[in-house]
Amino acid sequence: MNLHSLLEQREAEGRPIRVGLIGAGRFGTMYLSQARNIPGVHVVAIADINTKRAQGALELVEWPAEAVSPTVEDALARRGTAVVPDASALFGADIDVIVEATGNPIVGIDHALRAIASGKHIIMVTVEADALAGPALARRAQEAGVVYSMAYGDQPALIMELVDWARTSGFDVVCAGKGAKYLPHYHEMNPDNVWENWEFSKELTDSGQLNPHMHTSFRDGTKAAIEMAAVANAAGLVPSDTGLTFTPGNVEEIATICRPSAVGGVLAHEGSVEVMSSVTREGDWIPFNTQEGVFVVVKATNRYVSGCFTEYPWHPDPTGQYAALYRPYHYVGLELNITVANAVLRGIATGSPKGFFGDVVATAKKDLAAGEFLDGEGGYTVWGKLVSAETSVREGLLPVALAHHVELKNSVTKGASVKWDDIVIDESLATALELRRETEALIGATV
């Protein structure tokens, strides 16, 4: 409750938190739009291979031209902000925390390792990297005495806030999740037909401003699975091996839907994750849907608590045993400084893997033949399915984050998950593969 006061104190002492941002995309730009209005924060440098994009981001958020520095050293000396093409300049600089927002899981893992090695806290906006190897990265950060954290503003960290609230209040978490638009045919979506499944104007989709691969991932189930894997690993929740159900429902129905199937819900067991669809299976928007929101479902510890569920506006299920707490929005990069402040001022994360519980595996969108190349998240060949980490490792399933530009040795039928044995392993990804093996070794262990 006192983060702002602590930031004001740092400002008064002339010791602002020194931030390095890698990636000037949407998330990074949203953070920059707030940063100059926050006391005790100094964005030292922005690293992006496309420096024009980074400079454009500063212009877009009305960053004063006189506050832009030619070098990182100059930025540190006069509290300016430098734009550099190579993130290496950030790791050797006197910076407190690195924000990794490239969106590339392989690059993200490398940046996280370099930040940890240089004694800097790391905020992993690239949730794909967290789902692939977050548990191993978290362990390495812990051993180095720095914070590895999810990014507040993105849904996984906000879900973890609700999970922490529930457990701190004495509740067992039955389910943690979010809302998203989903229809069954979305698993077959590809960049050629993606705009048929969004509500954007043709003028906007023809403008080139939107990334069709990214928006395919947002709708074909992959992004939702990645985010729920991150939540599962941070909260110690175990996903169902049949994947997310995307059951349609509204806010009042969260606790009714996201309870075990034994009592009428959709969960295979208590202590899981789920995503609810904001539209019916016919595609009609549901009034008071869960789109963009996050939730946690808890179970009454005794009859007295069950009575409280029904006396307060807690959205209980018909039995009064389960209830949901719901946050209807997330402000993405505008909220990121909550994580920045917690990491540097308190030494704590706004969500971080505690083990390996959930994984996102590459699943065929169509029949695939030997010799074909997989094209990864948001492409034409595979979508990401959420399964338990135990099943993924036992069956040798391929993480979707490692399914980019990979050749198939064996054919894979539509709807089947790709296995490690089905592909030619890209040995150039040695670092990512090493961290992935470390992550797999953490099944049953605690970070």
| Calpha distance 219→368 (Å, rounded) | 21
- What is the average pLDDT score of the chain? 96
The two three-digit tokens of residue 220, written as one number: 């074909």
Q: How far apart are CA 174 and CA 276, in angstroms?
A: 15
Please check the confidence at residue 3 and state whether its pLDDT lies above 80: yes
Q: Rounded mean pLDDT of 8-37?
A: 97
- CA-CA distance, 252 to 290, in Å (whole number)? 10
- Report the C-alpha gap between 157 and 294 in whole angstroms: 10
| Model pLDDT for residues 82-102, shown as the tens digit of each residue | 999 999 999 999 999 999 999
pLDDT of 206 > 90? The answer is: no
- Give the mean model confidence (pLDDT) for residues 174-203: 95
pTM of the model: 0.97
Q: Looking at this protein, which amino acid is placed at residue 29?
A: T
Q: Taking Cα atoms as reference points, which of 86, 10, 92, 77 lies closest to residue 54?
A: 86
pLDDT at 162: 98
Predicted confidence (pLDDT) at residue 42 exceeds the cutoff of 90? yes
8 Å CB contact between 360 and 399: yes
Kindly state the average pLDDT of the residues 175-189: 97
The model's confidence at residue 269, banded by pLDDT at 50, 70 and 90, is: very high
| For range 185-196, the mean pLDDT | 96
**Binning pLDDT at 50, 70 and 90, where does residue 180 land?**
very high
pLDDT surpassing 80 at residue 1: no
**Both structure tokens of 24:** 């000037």
Predicted confidence (pLDDT) per residue in 290-301, tens digit:
999 999 999 999
Q: Residue range 106-111: average pLDDT?
A: 97
Taking each helix axis from N to C end, the angle separating 430-440 and 127-144, rounded to the nearest 10 degrees, works out to 70
